[in-house]
Each structure stands twice: as C-alpha cells, then as structure tokens.
Structure 1
Amino acid sequence: MSLFWRVFLLNAAVFVAGAAVLMLSPATISAPVSPTEVVVLLAGLVVMLVANLALLRIGFAPLGRLIRAMTSVDLLRPGAARPEVRGRGEVAELISAFNAMLDRLEVERATSNARALSAQESERRRIARELHDEVGQSLTAVLLELKHVSDEAPAEVSGKLNQVQEITRDSLDEIRRIARRLRPGVLEELGLASAVKSLTTELHDHAGPAARYRVDGELPALDDSAELVIYRVAQESITNAARHAAAHRLDVLVRSDEHGVRLRVRDDGHGIGEAPEGAGIRGMRERALLVGARLTIGDAPGGGTEVLLHLPNRSA
C-alpha cells in the first residue's frame, strides 16, 4: 500500500470512529448549542486529533530514522550501520533504496579515490624529479660558479660571496628535502620501517619535537599501495604534531601481529579537541579507505593527539 493511501486510511479511520461515537452515543446537539455540548464536542475533537497524531507518528517513524541516518552518514567512515528496513510499502522501499545507494557510493568513492591518489602520487614524483634534476642541478652549478668567483675575488668581496654560497647551499638542501618528501625514495629502497624512521630522524634534525620510533614485531610483506598509505599517514601525522600541535614529544609505533599492521602516532600537544577535520586528516581517511584500513583520530591518554591506523591481515 502506498504512503498516500495509508495516510488517507488512517485519517478516515479516525473520522469514521468519531462519527460512529456520535451516532451511537445518546449525546445530541441543540440549536443554539449549549455550553455542555460545546465541551463534549471539543473533547471529542481533541480525542480524534490525539488519535490521529499517534497513528501518524507510528506510520512515519521509519522515515524519521531514515532522516537521522541521512544527516549522520559519512562516506569517509564506511561500513556504518545501515538504517533497519522497517515499515511497509513505499517507506520500506525508500529505506532499501537509501541503503543500496550508500553501498554504491562507497564503492564509487573508493574507486575515484584510488584514481585521484594515483594521479597525485604521479604528480608528486614528477615534481620531485624536476626539483632534483632541474632546480637542484642549477643551484649546484651556481654554487660551483660562486666558489670559482670567490677564489678570484678580493678579500672583502670573497666574504660576501661565501655568505651567498651558504644561503644557496641551504636552499639546495631544502629543495632536496622537499623532493624526498614528495617522492619517498627510502621507501622503495629500504622498506617501510626505515622510511618511517627517516621521518622521525628528519624531524629531530630540524629541531622539532623529541621523537621516539619503535617497531614491534616483524613487518609482513606488503604491497606498494599499503606501504605508501602507512608512510603517508605517518608523514601527515608527524607534520601535524610538529606544526600545529605545539608538541614537545612524539611517539611513533609500528606493530605487526596476526591481526595485521598498526601504526600509532602519539604526541603531547594541545590535542585535536572539537576542531573540524581539515584537508590533511580527510586526506588520511581517503588513503586509509584505499587499502581497506581503519583510521582513528582522537585524544591521547594524558593529553595530546593519537592517530591509529589499522591495516587488517587479509589472509586471516
């Protein structure tokens, strides 16, 4: 039965019941209407309205649950409980269609995320290669030329040229550091454990928070996409702790057991609180979806922020 006819029949049932009560009861209406009759009519009207309200509330309850589910759904947190298919007719069909739409959107979003992140990594590699090959070589040539000129210049000019050399050398080191962050060559050459360790070492070299890194268990063989996701999540978490959390200590743990691989990044900063998630955190969630991992971000015990990434063991 359609929703239209259900509402119509509910209202019709209420009015028929009211008419039956008026016909079967000894109450009469005179002209003019007496105060007692007005009270009886008003009481009957109130009873009819309350009954109609209760019946409609029961009939539309499944729609209310569907509305709450629609306002709370987040495609970056897949696998959330679907609203239960209850009710009849169009209401049940609407809830079923909404659940099917969520399943389809999750699959489509995962596919589009995979394409977008693949294109992003390709662009990162291209930029890193151009920084290293083009800008890096140009600055190296500038350094050599500055050294040649400094050797032949007078003493008062040579000192200033040496300062320019130091600035150029620092710029070259910074460009190389940016290129390494864009294209984690250490991940390809030395593996995940060494790549994550290099992030904490680099943080220490740049006067960042005191970082501690630990690997618990032997890491299994992971495919390139899974290793890259773990590395990028660790990179973004460490960067957030250093730049935004005002943290003094940072603890990075990579653990492997029969349930899968877990990454935990914990700092002692001011915590995430009620701040809305920015592009960095949403990017981490999209990467986690790409490999079927679960990402949790919240307050750390004792203060600060804790980022947990769990990549389940697919063979388990």
Structure 2
Amino acid sequence: MKHVSILIPKGHTSVVNIEGTHQIFNDVNSILKNMERPPLFKVQLVGISKETSQRNGLFKIDADVLIGDVKKTDLIIIPAIHGDPKTMMENNAAFIPWIVKQYNAGAEVASLCIASFFLAATGLLNGKQCATHWAAANDFRNTFPEVTLVDDKIMTEEDGIYTSGGAYSFTNLLVYIIEKYAGRDVAVMIAKMFMIDIDRISQSPFIIFQGQKTHDDEPIKQAQEYIENNFEEKITVDQLASMFALGRRNMERRFKKATANTVTEYIQRVKIEVAKKNLEKSRKNVNEVMYEVGYSDTKAFRTVFKRITGLSPVEYRTKYNRESAIA
C-alpha cells in the first residue's frame, strides 16, 4: 500500500488542492474495491500543527498526523500556498528538512500549481524541469534561475518529482500519478468520474501573455512598449536596436535577460495575444485577424499561433468565442 502525505501548510493554502487530492485518492480505493482488488492508498493529512486555520479563519483543517509522526511515506503532495512568499516560507520552514529527508529515503514529491515555489526552496528542483501557474512564470524564473521552468506544460516528472501547472490542472497530474500506480483502467475510471481531460498535457491555451516588465532595464522596457503599441507593423531586431542606440547582440542579450523571451519571441507573442482577443470577441475570420496583427503569410501565422497556444486559430475561436460556443 502506498502512503500518501498531503501537507497542510500554515497560511492561505488551496483547500481545493487538499480536499480534491484527498477525495480522488480515496475514490481510487473505492474503485479497486469494486474490482475486487485491495486498496492502494493510505491517505493522511500531515501538518506541523494539529489544527490549521485557512483563508483568514474561513476554514479549519485538522491534520491526521504531524510530520514527526510520519517516519516514512511514499508520496508527498504540496498544495498551492498563496500570500507573501517570505511569510509563507517562515511559517512552513519545518516542512523543508522533512520533505528532503523523505525524498532521500525514496518518497516521491508532487507540487500543485504555485506550490512549485515552496518545492523549489527545498533545492530538490535544481537542474530539473518544473511547471507552475502560467501567471507566476516570470516571478518563478527570477526567483529560481537554477530550475528549468516549462511554463507551457501542464505537468512534469523527473527523478520522482512531479509538478503541475495552474489551478485545477492539478487533477491532470493526479490522474497521471494514479495511472502510474494503479494502471490505465483505474485512471480512466477516475477521469470519467471527475470529468477530467485525461491526456491534456499543455496549459498553453489558457496563457494570457502580459510581458515581463518587473526589471530595471529602461531601454528594454521602451522597446517592449514600442512592440506592444505597434504590433500591426513588421518590426525587426535591427530596427529596435537602432531606435534605442544599442548594438544588435547587446539588444538581444539584454532583452532575453529582462523578459525571458528573445526579441522575435516577444514580437510573436504580442501579435498572437492580440489575435487571440480578436478571435474571442469579434466576428472577424482568421484571415482578417491575421492581417490586423501584421501577418500576410497564412501558413506562418497558423504555425506561430499553434506553437504558442497549442491550438489552431480555428480551434481557438471555436473554444473561446461565445457565438461559436453557442453554435
């Protein structure tokens, strides 16, 4: 039997992550019972105090056991922890050596959504790939440059460490882990019971590109603003370098350092973000939208659009345009 430890951190934690994980793993046992198979998971809520207040007292969660009582576990689940990062780390510092010790003893570890920040603070993610909520991607890169963030992925697995993307995508990671432990048939049953898209692997369709302006490189900020205000034009790296009195190589180096995107990637993402909004809200066809954001080559536009969003322009409009959805 696999021992699953769902952590109950102090502070503003995702109650949905905690309760959802608890319910799904216990329902696996119910499914196995109906299949006349033995239960697979022993699920416990593990805390650093017996009673933990959540969301400013709106909820209270009682831990089944404290970390000192768990000598060995097989899977640690870290739910998303919100609020001031420094306070979050101070309140929950006691978990870190326990997580590291359990991992070194053979336990697997999974972070859900922005719990990747807490997991990264253990050092266990150094040199590994990691997913997190797309909205926190820039902050994560700045805070943990030694971790390889893949902000388009809905989940990652490497050396017994799992991470999931934003919000409710944690259910996709749970189904993935269940398939690994209990088999495809049980994973499919859980996916059907909870109506989870079992093989979804990307959070790209949900990303809203907002740029990255929490840096102090003023010429690069001005270049970003120029790109955003002139998205319909054909903008080149040489043009921007000349406008802001920078050499091309220096421009590219500073832009990548400040924004985590190359100049070309940034231009493409700005154009595609405008295209996405037009496809969501207007009645314009794909070609009209394409021309308005400065593309004249249909194949190039569709290729870039799908690489960034994971969907073709037509698929995206069908998914998010209200009139298309109703039709």
Fold similarity call, TM over 0.5? no
- Looking at CA atoms only, which structure, 1 or 2, has the larger radius of gyration? 1
Q: Which protein is richer in helix relative to its size?
A: 1
Normalising by the residue count of structure 2, what TM-score does the alignment of the two structures yield? 0.20
